[in-house]
């Protein structure tokens, strides 16, 4: 074999390596998933699924060129105990890189003990992190007619879990729409179609920080 033959073979091999490296890197990113585990607030209750904040988040991620698959595993009426029971299968099936937990509202509406709420949330966070997933916790609040003792104890659960498990927290997910005219549906519990973009804007800095794996983007919205 001539020297020229070896030169050609080496050149061809070099081109192949240059092509394969970026392809390998792209494949590593392409499989990443963001799992949303929530209740009716995230399941687009009372509207078309395409109008809900989760679908709006999926669209925004695509528009920004982020190769992230969003899996919405939210179920209307879900409690933290139900979410905890479903999470192992979801983690096994989807192997998400990130998990957003939006649960607890139904626990509160049913008067479940805050301590049980806290235990369930902590177990979900721990379970996800054991599988290598980053976690964002979306907090909820109860209306004042449940009494100050219960509403205060309920609200305190989310920052306690976030602090104990060192995860990012949105203290009150519905904060920008709960008291706004037209922000809620006629039942006074579920956010309206018009409120969905505001919900996404409220948590977007946290979502970006979660995906980028950096520090929390806004202390007002995300508190570790």
Rg (CA), the chain: 22
Beta-carbon contacts of residue 117 (< 8 Å; ≥ 6 apart): 80, 104, 107, 108, 154, 157
Of the residues 42, 74, 190, 202, which is catalytic?
A: 190
Is position 187 annotated as part of the catalytic site?
yes
Alpha helix positions (H), the chain: 3-30, 53-63, 80-94, 105-109, 114-130, 148-165, 196-212
Is position 40 annotated as part of the catalytic site?
yes
Of the residues 39, 40, 42, 107, which is catalytic?
A: 40
> 201-221 burial string, b = 16+ CB within 10 Å, else e?
ebbbbbbbbbbeeeebbeeeb
- Please report where in the chains the tokens 């392809």 appear, as a residue: 23
Helix (H, G, I), strand (E, B) or coil at 104: coil
Residues labelled as active-site residues: 40, 187, 190
């Amino acid at each position: 074999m001539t020297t020229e033959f070896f030169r050609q073979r080496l050149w061809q091999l070099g081109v192949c390596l240059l092509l394969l490296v970026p392809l390998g890197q792209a494949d590593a990113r392409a499989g990443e998933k963001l799992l949303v585990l929530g209740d009716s607030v995230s399941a687009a209750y009372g509207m078309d699924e395409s109008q809900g904040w989760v679908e709006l988040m999926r669209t925004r991620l695509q528009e920004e060129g982020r190769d992230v698959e969003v899996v919405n595993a939210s179920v209307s009426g879900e409690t933290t105990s139900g979410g905890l029971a479903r999470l192992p299968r979801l983690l096994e099936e989807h192997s998400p890189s990130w998990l957003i937990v939006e649960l607890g509202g139904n626990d509160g509406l049913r008067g479940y003990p805050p301590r049980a709420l806290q235990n369930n949330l902590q177990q979900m966070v721990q379970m996800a992190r054991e599988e290598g997933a980053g976690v964002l916790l979306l907090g909820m609040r109860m209306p004042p007619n449940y009494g100050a003792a219960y509403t205060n104890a309920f609200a305190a659960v989310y920052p306690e879990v976030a602090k104990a498990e060192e995860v990012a927290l949105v203290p009150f997910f519905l904060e920008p729409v709960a008291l706004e005219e037209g922000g809620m549906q006629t039942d006074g519990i579920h956010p309206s179609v018009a409120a969905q973009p505001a919900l996404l804007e409220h948590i977007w800095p946290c979502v970006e920080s979660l995906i980028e794996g950096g520090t929390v983007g806004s202390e007002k919205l995300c508190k570790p």
